[in-house]
């Protein structure tokens, strides 16, 4: 498993985002450069869609209330039928391999938030793999942010 190189992580917090708030509705857009290997994390109240590429290899995340519990939901686009089942499966495997690094980047990049709200380190993480193929369109449990410190 790759580990985060903090010097390659570039974090932007948009207006209205502080280490204190918001908790519920705090959104993450994580992209990367294939050329430099740099990671770009934006913490905001809306997903930063102008950072999305045609490859759709970004990770989107949000804190949401699920019943009585706060949950960190992440979303990755595995593919559609146009791309074919084999490409969808390949992308799902690539995401599964790279998601621990993405989670480490989110945890490290927003560490002041986690320091201010230590209970968030123990909230569950669920990742939804979006695909038009039912066997690849699923949600998986990925532990808690504490595991990615």
**Domain extent listing, the chain:** 6-148
What pLDDT digit, counting tens, does each position of 72-113 carry?
999 999 999 999 999 999 999 999 999 999 999 999 999 999
Asked if pLDDT for residue 1 goes beyond 70, the answer is no
pTM of the model: 0.94
**Of the candidates 133, 136, 137, which has an alpha carbon nearest to the alpha carbon of residue 81?**
133
Looking at the predicted structure, is the pLDDT value of residue 2 above 90?
Answer: no
Mean pLDDT of the chain: 95
pLDDT band at 53 (very low <50, low <70, confident <90, very high): low
Is 119 exposed, middle or buried (CB count within 10 Å of its CB: 0-12, 13-18, 19+)? Answer: exposed
- Compute the average pLDDT of residues 128-139: 97
């Amino acid at each position: 498993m790759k580990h985060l190189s903090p010097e390659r992580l570039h974090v932007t917090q948009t207006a209205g985002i502080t280490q204190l708030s918001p908790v519920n509705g705090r959104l993450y857009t994580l992209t990367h450069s294939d050329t430099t290997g740099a990671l770009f994390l934006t913490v905001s109240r809306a997903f930063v869609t102008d950072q999305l590429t045609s490859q759709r290899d970004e990770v989107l995340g949000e804190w949401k209330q699920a019943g009585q519990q706060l949950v960190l939901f992440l979303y990755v686009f595995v593919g559609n039928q146009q791309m074919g089942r084999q490409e969808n499966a390949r992308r799902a495997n690539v995401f599964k391999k790279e998601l621990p690094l993405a989670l480490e980047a989110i945890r490290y990049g927003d560490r002041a938030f986690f320091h201010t709200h230590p209970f968030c380190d123990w909230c569950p993480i669920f990742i939804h793999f979006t695909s038009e193929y039912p066997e690849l369109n699923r949600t998986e449990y990925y532990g808690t942010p504490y595991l990615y410190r």
